[in-house]
Amino acid sequence: MTKADTDRIDIPGLDVAKAKRYSRTRLVVLIASTLWSVVRLAWFASDSRALRLKEAIDRLLPDRPLTAPVFIALTTALSWLSALPISYIGGHAVERRFGLTKQTASGWVEDQLKGLLVGVLLQTPLLTAAFAVIRRRTRDWWLILAAASVPLTVVLSNLAPVLLMPLFNRFDPLRDEALAARIRALASRSGVRISDVFEMDMSRQSEKPNAMFTGLGNTKRIVLGDTLLSKFSEDEIEAVVAHELGHQVHGDIWRLIGFGAGAGFGLAWLLSRVSPPVLRRTSRQTGVTAPGDEASLPVLALLLTAMGFVMMPIQAAFSRAIERRTDRFAVELTRNGEAYAHAMERLAAESLADPDPPRPVVLMLYSHPPIVERIRAARETERRFREDGLAGSVSQIGGDSKATR
Ligand SMILES: [Zn+2]
């Protein structure tokens, strides 16, 4: 077979032309919103606007210690507001036009407002404290902040499914008893302590079928969208659950936290080296001379945005490697590559997945391998698995998945 032959896979039910239009539209909106956010930040950072805003707050408030948190909360809210029109287009209008959401515009805005509120409540005290550390520890603030962010991420990962996610969606224990029993059996075969399985009203926001593993320690769980439960066959749901179990078996949440921590130390160090000279050089326009001043926020945000671009392909590659391995694990666990391939095909059809996305887009943005690769890999894994089975090693694979990885 030539490469062209192997690359072509027909996905039943997928409207390829529409999927192509959808992914092109999303890319255009993403580029526009990224440019818009850089332009906004550059405008805010280009003269003494941030400093003047901070001083105005200072004059209005009776209490000096309140200036920093109010300044941070206000800039967060203003930044959210100035991004709202383009977020609306990308997050709602496009999805609606392609039939991928039934949410109303007001429902969408309500979700965004809740998100803003949670963001401001979490971010304001943390950033206020961070700036205090930067002022007091001018040499090693990066080390302190990066180190402090690790336990913070662990706590937030633990609390998110019980504290944050229920603000936006409803979670119930899986109602279908027969399916729940099947999932429990699968979990015990995977060697993972049975985690809770929940169903979630994902259809509030999106018609795309989805599932996830989330939480940490006593809150870790598998969550299945109602969109998945209503559109997928039992075999296909089992295939998806096997994938989520794979994340738990491999401790992927810890891997992601570890990756984030490594990146956090690197970026914080870089920021601590780059920001002082940049701030000194721009201080005549901005009136800000050091990173410990909250008014340096737009300049710091611009620098972090630039660093984020460099991190994007690294992070995406890391995630794709995890997902590729998890796909393989799922097929080995269910011993049903065909059901897995079908699940992926249905996923592609229902979410309008681009069957052959441009390589640069995959490298920069894709957290999962392109769907056609996942389908092909599932069938390939099953084929190899059968060959190995015929060679006599089939007894190895049943309960041994944890020990062999
Ligand atoms: Zn996954």
Distance 247 CA to ligand 1 centre (A): 7
Mean pLDDT of 26-31: 97
Distance 214 CA to ligand 1 centre (A): 11
Query: What pLDDT, on a 0 to 100 scale, did the predictor assign at position 404?
Result: 31
Whether the predicted pLDDT of 22 surpasses 90: yes
Question: How far is CA 179 from each of CA 22, 209, 224, rounded to the nearest angstrom?
Answer: 33, 17, 12
Distance 105 CA to ligand 1 centre (A): 30
What are the tens digits of pLDDT across the range 78-91? 999 999 999 999 99
What are the tens digits of pLDDT across the range 235-249? 999 999 999 999 999
What are the tens digits of pLDDT across the range 7-16? 566 899 999 9
Q: Rounded to 5 degrees, what angle do the CA atoms 188, 190, 191 make? A: 65
Query: What pLDDT, on a 0 to 100 scale, did the predictor assign at position 7?
Result: 52
Question: Are the CB atoms for 98 and 23 separated by under 8 Å?
Answer: no
Distance 82 CA to ligand 1 centre (A): 33
What are the tens digits of pLDDT across the range 290-325? 999 999 999 999 999 999 999 999 999 999 999 999
Query: What pLDDT, on a 0 to 100 scale, did the predictor assign at position 1?
Result: 42
Residues 6+ apart with CB under 8 A from 64: 58
Whether the predicted pLDDT of 397 surpasses 70: no
Distance 200 CA to ligand 1 centre (A): 17
Cα radius of gyration rounded to whole Å, the chain: 24
What are the tens digits of pLDDT across the range 182-228? 998 999 898 887 668 999 999 999 999 999 989 988 898 999 999 99
Mean pLDDT of 266-279: 97
- β-strands 211-214, 221-225 pairing: antiparallel
Distance 244 CA to ligand 1 centre (A): 6
Question: Are the CB atoms for 180 and 169 separated by under 8 Å?
Answer: no
Query: What pLDDT, on a 0 to 100 scale, did the predictor assign at position 391?
Result: 55
Query: What pLDDT, on a 0 to 100 scale, did the predictor assign at position 184?
Result: 87
How many whole angstroms separate alpha carbon 380 and alpha carbon 235? 18
Whether the predicted pLDDT of 66 surpasses 70: yes
Distance 202 CA to ligand 1 centre (A): 17
DSSP states of 10-36 as a string?
--TT--HHHHHHHHHHHHHHHHHHHHH
In the chain, % of residues over pLDDT 70 = 93
Distance 60 CA to ligand 1 centre (A): 49
Whether the predicted pLDDT of 62 surpasses 90: no
Distance 326 CA to ligand 1 centre (A): 6
Distance 347 CA to ligand 1 centre (A): 13
Distance 271 CA to ligand 1 centre (A): 31
In the chain, % of residues over pLDDT 90 = 84
Distance 396 CA to ligand 1 centre (A): 24
Distance 287 CA to ligand 1 centre (A): 47
What does the mean pLDDT of the chain come to?
92
Distance 155 CA to ligand 1 centre (A): 22
Query: What pLDDT, on a 0 to 100 scale, did the predictor assign at position 387?
Result: 84
Distance 93 CA to ligand 1 centre (A): 27
Distance 243 CA to ligand 1 centre (A): 6
Who wins on pLDDT, 95 or 398? 95
Query: What pLDDT, on a 0 to 100 scale, did the predictor assign at position 9?
Result: 66
Distance 331 CA to ligand 1 centre (A): 13
Query: What pLDDT, on a 0 to 100 scale, did the predictor assign at position 220?
Result: 87
Query: What pLDDT, on a 0 to 100 scale, did the predictor assign at position 5?
Result: 44
Global pTM value: 0.89
- β-strands 221-225, 196-200 pairing: parallel
Return the axis-axis angle of helices 297-334 and 177-190, rounded to nearest 10°. 90
Distance 139 CA to ligand 1 centre (A): 40
Distance 261 CA to ligand 1 centre (A): 20
Distance 320 CA to ligand 1 centre (A): 9
Distance 221 CA to ligand 1 centre (A): 14
Question: Are the CB atoms for 250 and 329 separated by under 8 Å?
Answer: yes
Residue 67 identity = T
